[in-house]
Structure 1
Amino acid sequence: MNSQFTIIAATNFSETSVNAVNYAAGLAKASGAQLLIFHSFSLPLHSANSHITADGLQLQLNKVNTRLALLAAELTQFYAITITYNCSYSFLEDYLPTLITDTNTQLVVMGMAERSFEQELMGNATTFAIKSLNLPVLAVPLHARLHKAKKVLFAFDAKKKIAAGKLLWLGVALKHIKAEIELFSVDETLKTLKEENPGVLVKNIIDEEFQEIKYVYKSVRSNTVIAEIEKEINLYNADILVMMPQRYGFWDSIVHRSKTRIMASGLNIPLLSLPNY
């Protein structure tokens, strides 16, 4: 594993985001990665309106950096891994892509919001990351714990190729925690595709890096994709859901809401969103 491989865990110091940072620390240890804890700093509204001085801004930044340092020190001691932190006075959407490029990051971990109509309609920082970043994003709900993650449900479109070889860190982590994968597809035409060329669809996902991981294959024929995935989460007793959002053009995006983004609010298990390479 490349010693420069990094996982970024974004936090706003809420209970959910701090739990996501803990989850990321466990993943970093399991995959041999470094962990970078990131906070995008913004001023409270009353401070912004009062034209805060440079000294006042620096004081606020110092307070945030102190909180990050304490969190990093606590996790470093517990997980025995390399942890750094970064605080930026900027909007997360503006600075996170730059930070990813500068640190050779291969995974971003964020907290998962509870489901609400507003979250599904407007989204949040996590759904923004899923939609905009060209790398895997892991959304972690409040009560998720990595040590309990033994079953991974990989819900995918059988007609799309997935570059599993770019996910070496995932294979290493899953082997370390002794997890297994179920490959699950909801598609009207999957039965025909599978009969014509059996095994090819599985090979597109599970390549050499995943050969030591136990997996099963299951497909259903249905038009209600989200409902079938939610049903399978319960049937399989999944601990992590993996999906790959589709990219729509401008006009398509008006009438489509990504199934992955919808699932990213309100699940009780983590959602790993893979980029559509």
Structure 2
Amino acid sequence: MVTIIVATDFSDVAENAVEYAAAAAKHGNARLVLFNSYVLPIHAANTILPASSIQKLMDENENRLQERALFLSTTYGIKVGFEARFSFVEDELTDLIDRHKAELLVLGMKARTLEQDLMGNTTTAAIKKLKFPVLAVPIGAKFGEIKKILFACDVLRGVPKKILSRIKELATSLNAEVEVFHVNDAIEELKADHPALSSKDGIGSGLSGVSYYYKNVKSNQVIKEIEKEIKEFKADLLIMIPNKYGFWASLVHRSKTRVMASGLDIPLFSIPI
């Protein structure tokens, strides 16, 4: 059985991601694991507390997580496990993923702020550091509303068959249509110099059986064009393949990667190669 891990700190953004992940688990007949990385409240951390008091705080947190898991299991009819650890969430995710042999990590996507652009957050850090599929879910997003998927990719370097297969499986299960979207600042020259640009045919064969479209845009503002296309296509989900070459060179810079993983109105599914 496929396992999905979703992290929560019980905030509104995180709890919306939990509901999203639970609905996705039900749809895919998957098991869900709730994860909470417990950090002492500031007032407690700044106070000398006996070990028994700290243990009580941790027990209360774990009981809350257990109650949430039971509620989700009953509401969605799925298997739900839970884990709480006394550490920072980034430090535990890799071990958690390996132990549960998970196939997807779901995290809440916070609204864009100056602080987020400068400092990032747990979600953007996970997308950058983990070589693992991460689904970032903004508050208000609902799983059942995915009918249009925007796949922003580098057609010049090609797309691995495994990733196309995953997108095809997702689109088929949701009965969704896909738009393959490419941005380049010299698309006309590339067409002349790279007949392999018709490698979009390779994408087509990889997405055979799925209703899909192909669109390229000439621009040197990758982020802005993707955000614009999300609105024009009325996409419900954005899929990206982060790497450090070619088309994605502009996304290597930390602040730009953070921009894509905070402030969107739709979920961002990051699938690393």
Q: TM-score, normalised by structure 2?
A: 0.88
Instruction: Give the Cα separation in 2 of the matches to 1:146 and 1:19.
Output: 10
Q: 1:159 aligns with which of 128, 152, 156?
A: 156
**Match of residue 59, structure 2, among 51, 56, 62:** 62
SS in 1 for 2:210: coil
- CA-CA distance at 1:77 after TM superposition: 1.7
Which residue among 61, 68, 71 is the counterpart of 2:68? 71
How far is 1:54 from its partner?
2.6
SS of aligned partner of 2:141: coil
Instruction: Determine the structure 2 residue equivalent to 1:14.
Output: 11
- The one-letter amino acid of 2:80's match is I
Change in Cα spacing, 1:185 to 1:169, as seen in structure 2 (3 Å) is closer
Q: Deviations over 1:8-55 (max 9, x none)?
A: 101010011000011111222222321111100010122123233332
Q: 1:182 aligns with which of 179, 183, 186?
A: 179
For structure 1, which runs of at least 5 residues remain unmatched after alignment?
none
3-state SS, counterpart of residue 264 of structure 2: coil
Aligned to 1:221: 218
Instruction: Say whether residues 1:203 and 2:202 are aligned partners.
Output: yes
For residue 212 of structure 2, what is the amino acid of its counterpart?
A: Y
> What CA RMSD, in Å, does the superposition of the two structures yield over aligned residues?
2.4
CA contact (8 A) 1:164 1:206 kept: no
Report the equivalent of 1:83: 80
Number of residue pairs the alignment of both structures matches: 267
For 2:99, give the aligned amino acid.
Answer: D
CA–CA distance in structure 1, aligned partners of residues 233 and 255 of structure 2: 23
Q: Alignment partner of 1:197: what SS? A: helix
C-alpha distance in structure 2 between counterparts of 1:127 and 1:233, whole Å: 20
Aligned mates of 2:205, 2:101 — CA distance in 1:
24
Distance 1:13 1:176 in 2: 30
Q: 1:226-246 deviations in whole A, cap 9, x for unaligned?
A: 111111111100011111223
2:62 is matched by which residue type in structure 1? N
1:129 to 126, 130, 139: 126
Instruction: Please say which of residues 72-81 and 51-60 is displaced more in the overlay.
Output: 51-60
- TM-superposed deviation, 1:256: 2.5
SS at match of 2:216: strand
User: How far did 1:181 drift?
Assistant: 1.1
SS at match of 2:180: strand
Which residue number in structure 2 is paired with residue 39 of structure 1? 36
**Amino acid across the alignment from 1:27:** A
**3-state SS in 2 of match to 1:52:** coil
Do the aligned residues in 2 keep the contact of 1:163 with 1:204 (CA within 8 Å)? no
Task: Give, in whole Å, the separation in 1 of the partners of 2:166 and 2:63.
Answer: 30
Q: Supply the distance in 2 between the matched residues of 1:174 and 1:92 (Cα, whole angstroms).
A: 31
Instruction: Give the C-alpha shift of residue 139 in structure 1.
Output: 0.9
Q: Does the aligned pair in 1 maintain the 2:4–2:32 contact within 8 Å? A: yes
Name which of 17, 21, 35 aligns with 1:24: 21
Identity %: 42
**Per-residue deviation, 1:177:** 2.2
Counterpart of 2:50 (choices 41, 49, 53) is 53
